Amino acid sequence: MNYQIFKSESRGGGNHGWLNSKHSYSFANYYDPARIHFGALRVVNDDIITGGMGFGKHPHDNMEIITIPTKGGISHEDSMGTGSVIESGDVQVMSAGTGVFHSEMNAYENQEGHFFQIWIIPNKMNVEPRYQQISVRDVAKENELYQVLSPNADDQGVWIHQDAWIFLGNYTEDKQETYKVQKEGNGVFFMVVEGEVEFDGNKLGRRDVIEIKDTNEFSFNVAKDSRLMLIEVPMDI
C-alpha cells in the first residue's frame, strides 16, 4: 500500500467575498504541478457561497460533475431544461458529455450554502449530456460507510461514466472500519469531512486527506462525531 497525507491547510483556493473556496487540486487561480489530479479525480472543491450568490451560466464538456451539499441548498439550472434545488442530504450528478451550460446559485438569501463539487474524468467521451439527482437520506446509515455513487445505474446512489465510487460515513460512536476497494487497481481519495480519524498511526482531522493506492483494502479508526467521504477512482489516467 502506498499513501500520501495532505493536511487541510495545504489546499489552494481563496476567499472572494461571496465565495470562500478550498481546492484539493489545481483549479482556477490555484496551480500546483504536483496537485493536478489523482487518477481520474480531477477536482474536489470545498465551497461556501454567500446567501443569494453563486456561479452564473457557464459551459462544461466531457466531465462527470458531482455536487454534494453539506449545508443549505444550491439552485441549479442548465441547458438541458433542468431546474432544481439540491439540498443537504441530496447528491447530484451532471454528465457534461458533448457540452452543457449550467448555473449554480445559493438557493437561500439569508444563509450560507456549503457544498463539495467533484469532477471525475469520464471513460466515455462525447456522450449525450444527462442530469441525475437523488436524496440519500433513506440509504444513509450511522456508523458505517454507505454508497452514494457508482458506475452502475442499478446500484444504490447516482451513476457516472467511470469505474468510480463515492462512499459517505456519519459516525456517532468510535468505530474501527475497513474499506475494500471496489475495482482492482483503483485508488481512494479519503477526506475527514468532520471529526478525527487514525490511519496507520497518523492522526487526521477536519478536511485532512489521504490518497491511497496499490492496495485492495485498508483499515482505520474513526472517532465519534466524525464524517467521512471516500472517492474511489481508476489510477491509469
Query: Residues at the annotated binding site?
Result: 58, 60, 102, 104
Planar angle of CA 197, 160, 31, nearest 5 degrees: 60
* Exposure string over 221-237, b if 16+ CB within 10 A, otherwise e: ebbeebbbbbbbbbeee
Q: In what order do the strands lie in the sheet with 73-78?
A: 54-60, 100-106, 73-78, 83-87
* Residue list, annotated binding site for Fe cation: 58, 60, 102, 104
H-only helix segments in 76-147 = none
Which phi and psi angles does 149 have, rounded to 5°? -155, 145
